[in-house]
Structure 1
Amino acid sequence: MNKPRARNLLSAFCLLASLFTVACVNSPIIGIIGEAVMLPCPCMSPINPDLLYLYWQIQETVVDAFIKGEASRSHQDKMYHNRTKLFVRENSTCSLLLSQLSVKDEKTYECLHGSPDIKKNYVSLLVAANYTSPVLQVPSEQPRGRYTCTATGGFPEATIHWLLDNQPLLWDPEPQQSVLDESTGRYNVTSTLAANISQDSTLTCIVENKRLHVNLSQTLNSPSTQDTPQNHIVIPVVVVLLLFIS
């Protein structure tokens, strides 16, 4: 019996919001996939929770709500069940904690709040995930061959760069391969380089995640010294030497 009344309250509140709100657009927030993120929305001060109407929504999809002193989740979309928390009474804020982030959470969220004046804030949420440390695979015959650099499990799609003796290459690698894992929404990226590497040179691949401002690298030294790889995050590189050992 209470659902039609709650729906009417929501409709009336949104109608008023569309007519009288002052919209505030915040800078994008970056959240890490699998973790929690706080979406900021400052309430009016001083705040009286018993008079407050607060709705977090995406267009007409309700993410969470707080109506006149009580949390109201009767119309919360099932995608957000057990993933949200409001801190109205604890911290006198209208901010929303959203947990267990996934790629699907990358949206623009709307915070509607009034007591009795109605205000509207927009929060753009971007999600990201770090890649694994890159693995640099070398050809079985030195110095000629095809080198591959691979990193997995990141978001958004990363870009792989190559350096020869700490300088950009004078030729282009093969087109980068990016594979989206549909089950996780994350990318696996691979770049292949056909090159002749001299014995006194070093080859480095760099995986750039622009959103997180993170670069992961793997460096392969020349065959005579490659047992001491230099790397931001080191993963051992296995070089096939069996042909040279008899």
Structure 2
Amino acid sequence: METYRTHFVMWTVLGLAAVFISASALSGVKGIVTQKVLLHCPCVNRNVRKTIIWQLEEHTIVLRHDGSNNHTTIGTRYENRVSLFLNEEKDNCSLLLSGITVADHGTYKCSFTADAFVYEQVILHVAASYSVCMDLVSDQASVSSGGGEGSRVYQCKASGGYPEGQIHWELEGHPLVNPSRRDVTHLDNITGLYSLTSNLTIELSEGETLQCVVENTALASNLNSNSSCNQKHMPIEGSIHYKVQVAAVVAVSLIVIFIVGVLLVFLLTRCRRHERSTRDTERQERGVTQSFNVYEDDSA
């Protein structure tokens, strides 16, 4: 009964660990536009004579490697942008994707043949950081813009980002409530990137600080205007928060794996001790029985 209980606990722990690791894997990977990303696909014990296929969703072939003649065919959209690592490591079917675009967003499937047909899925979340700038565009607001005599019009621009973000206005670090503003959103049909423009009409007191903030949920960051639109400026990277999130997930995963390992070692050690104790008890009982039989024979 004790051995059964121990095995039940051990398999329960393994099941919970598997669920946790699977849930972590389903979160996918993040790729930044124009950069590179590695889509993992371990293919241990694969049949090297069979075909490896990478595809996006169910309709777009990214790459097809025929193991029988060592020939690789690459989809039209992915020419000069994808590569495998089979020459370095035959059990690694991971795909390196370069020059990421918005169109690369989606679920990728890596399929190969081992003892049976196997496939791995990787979700790629594409994001792009906005370039943000702000300028005073009018010293005197027009009557149609809703401004008073001392009102001015400020313009905030956020360009080249993905997914669609939101512009917020702040005065002295606090959000403006019901501001007089006019917003325009433009989607580039070629690149899939968004450009946002917000015109704010407001009357500022001397010394007050106004800034626009661009929210990009995919990068878990808010970008503040720190330059004039009339000056050259570099895009503000919003991937720092994402890196922190990834590090936290990895740390938690390692801790869980360590705890599971310790529990398994403990349970296995306990099982072995129980089995050894059972064998010793049986051995002692057999010895006593044999001694008793010898004694009866001598008495007879």
TM-score, normalised to structure 2, is 0.58
Residue from 209, 212, 232 that aligns with 2:216: 209
Larger radius of gyration: 2
- 2:78 aligns with 80
Give the secondary structure class of the aligned counterpart of 2:48: helix
- 2:153 aligns with 146
Pick closer, same or farther for the CA change 1:237–1:125 going to 2, 3 Å: closer
Determine whether 1:235 maps to 2:224: no
Residue from 28, 42, 56 that aligns with 2:54: 56
Count residues in correspondence: 198
Determine whether 1:112 maps to 2:111: yes
- 1:127 aligns with 126
Pick closer, same or farther for the CA change 1:71–1:162 going to 2, 3 Å: farther
Give the secondary structure class of the aligned counterpart of 1:133: strand
1:115 offset after TM fit, Å?
1.7
Q: How far, CA to CA, are the matches of 2:126 and 2:46 in structure 1?
A: 33
1:150 offset after TM fit, Å?
0.8
The equivalences for 1:1-246 within 5 A come to 26-44=26-44, 47=45, 50-51=48-49, 53-58=51-56, 59-68=58-67, 71-74=70-73, 76-91=74-89, 92-141=91-140, 143-218=150-225, 234-236=226-228
TM-score, normalised to structure 1, is 0.70
1:173 offset after TM fit, Å?
4.3
Q: How far, CA to CA, are the matches of 1:49 and 1:33 in structure 2?
A: 34
1:175 offset after TM fit, Å?
4.7
1:174 offset after TM fit, Å?
2.7
For the 8 Å contact 2:64–2:72, the answer to whether it is kept is yes
Q: How far, CA to CA, are the matches of 2:84 and 2:199 in structure 1?
A: 48
Give the secondary structure class of the aligned counterpart of 1:206: strand
Kindly provide the CA deviation profile for residues 13-32 of structure 1, in whole angstroms up to 9, marking residues without a partner as x: xxxxxxxxxx9963222212
Unaligned runs of 5+ in 1: 1-22, 219-233, 239-246
For the 8 Å contact 1:164–1:202, the answer to whether it is kept is yes
Unaligned runs of 5+ in 2: 1-21, 141-148, 231-300
Q: Which amino acid aligns with 1:155?
A: Y
1:34 offset after TM fit, Å?
1.8
Give the secondary structure class of the aligned counterpart of 1:127: strand
Kindly provide the CA deviation profile for residues 120-150 of structure 1, in whole angstroms up to 9, marking residues without a partner as x: 2211212222211322335314951222111
Pick closer, same or farther for the CA change 1:60–1:165 going to 2, 3 Å: closer
1:70 offset after TM fit, Å?
5.6
Percent sequence identity over matched residues? 34
Give the secondary structure class of the aligned counterpart of 2:88: helix
Kindly provide the CA deviation profile for residues 40-85 of structure 1, in whole angstroms up to 9, marking residues without a partner as x: 11222xx4563454211131432112333764334x4222222211
Q: How far, CA to CA, are the matches of 2:228 and 2:79 in structure 1?
A: 43
Q: How far, CA to CA, are the matches of 1:163 and 1:155 in structure 2?
A: 22
For the 8 Å contact 1:143–1:199, the answer to whether it is kept is no
Q: Which amino acid aligns with 1:31?
A: G
Q: How far, CA to CA, are the matches of 1:90 and 1:199 in structure 2?
A: 65
Q: How far, CA to CA, are the matches of 1:86 and 1:98 in structure 2?
A: 9
1:88 offset after TM fit, Å?
2.4
1:163 offset after TM fit, Å?
0.9
For the 8 Å contact 2:133–2:228, the answer to whether it is kept is no
- 1:231 aligns with none
Q: How far, CA to CA, are the matches of 2:69 and 2:161 in structure 1?
A: 39
For the 8 Å contact 1:149–1:191, the answer to whether it is kept is yes
Q: Which amino acid aligns with 2:160?
A: G
RMSD: 2.6
1:185 offset after TM fit, Å?
2.0
Q: How far, CA to CA, are the matches of 2:219 and 2:70 in structure 1?
A: 34
Kindly provide the CA deviation profile for residues 184-239 of structure 1, in whole angstroms up to 9, marking residues without a partner as x: 22111011222221113211111122212232212xxxxxxxxxxxxxxx31477x
